Homo-oligomer: A and B are copies of this chain.
Amino acid sequence: MTPNLSTNIGGIQMKNPVMTASGTFGYGPEYAELVDLNQLGAIVVKGICLNETKGNQTPRTAEAASGLLNAIGLPGPGVAGFVREYMPFLRQYDVPVIVNIWGKTIEEYVEVAARFDSIPGVAGLEVNVSCPNIKEGSALFGTDLKMFERVVKAIRNATRLPLMPKLAPNVADIAEYARCAEACGADAISLINSFPAMSVNIETRRPMLANKTGGLSGPAIKPIALRLVWLAAQAVKIPVVGMGGIASAEDALEFLMVGARAVAVGTASFIHPDTALKVVRGIEQFLAEKNLATVADWVGAFDP
């Protein structure tokens, strides 16, 4: 008997619990020659804000031990550009498209969310809150609980699409943010975003990234991510999408076991573009071996 891998993330019905992580899979076409997009649980596209943006200067990435540091700086075509250039392509596939959105002010978040509300083919919104609030000072939306609450509430009021705030990992108490998102009406949460970090070069005495600091992703952060996902999953009833260093089916099964109802593959796609599909097949095989009929039977199977 083939296990049933389907899962529902806050109203987004997925064939299997494996998505691509925002920013690591482009907008879809980049990997389409290598990966059958129809076999993915969902595609989460690179972060989109209102207008076209250029992002950071280069260098934008640097390798670290078992990890990658990035400060791409969210370049992108803006809502209109994205809808025009990529939605026709994405609509060809039978796979939910989750748009990762961001803004520099609450108003911008709201505006972006509102615009997507009417775009056919958009299955849901993931909200990247790891951006500084330009208008109201330097506080970050993702690491200041009050700001987080304001932005999630405001977006909730602006869209009927399934809404999935993506939590920043560098907070003392992740459960607080998870509960806040749930209380504000989010349909799901995802975590973790890459972890604030830095690399430097002692010969040039300069940072390795033009932006000085960046986000650490990849296997290095998996143990950090796993704990945060576990804590978040215990704190809320809405579905949790876990990510951070997932590179194999075993990794994904770990996140599902501690309570994530879906996972996302990020940095690992760079090294093996077909990682997400291998993860799907590996989960299926594991469930079959364990005689589990559905992936839901494994979610939360942790015995702490």
Contacts and interface: CB of A to CB of B under 8 A. Distances in A.
A57 B202 CA distance: 42
Interface stretch (A10-18, A107-115, A154-162, A204-212): A204-212
A144 interface: yes
Contact of A221 (B170, B206, B220, B303): B220
A64 interface: yes
Contacts of A172: 140, 143-144, 170-172
Interface residues of A, number: 47
A227 to B, nearest CB: 4
A196 interface: yes
Contacts of A206: 302-304
A65 interface: yes
Contacts of A67: 66, 220, 223
Interface stretch (A25-33, A251-259, A269-277): A251-259
A134 interface: no
Interface string A132-145: 00000000100110
A224 interface: yes
A82 interface: no
A202 B64 contact: no
A216 interface: yes
A219 B302 contact: no
Contacts of A250: 202
B301 A205 contact: yes
A198 interface: yes
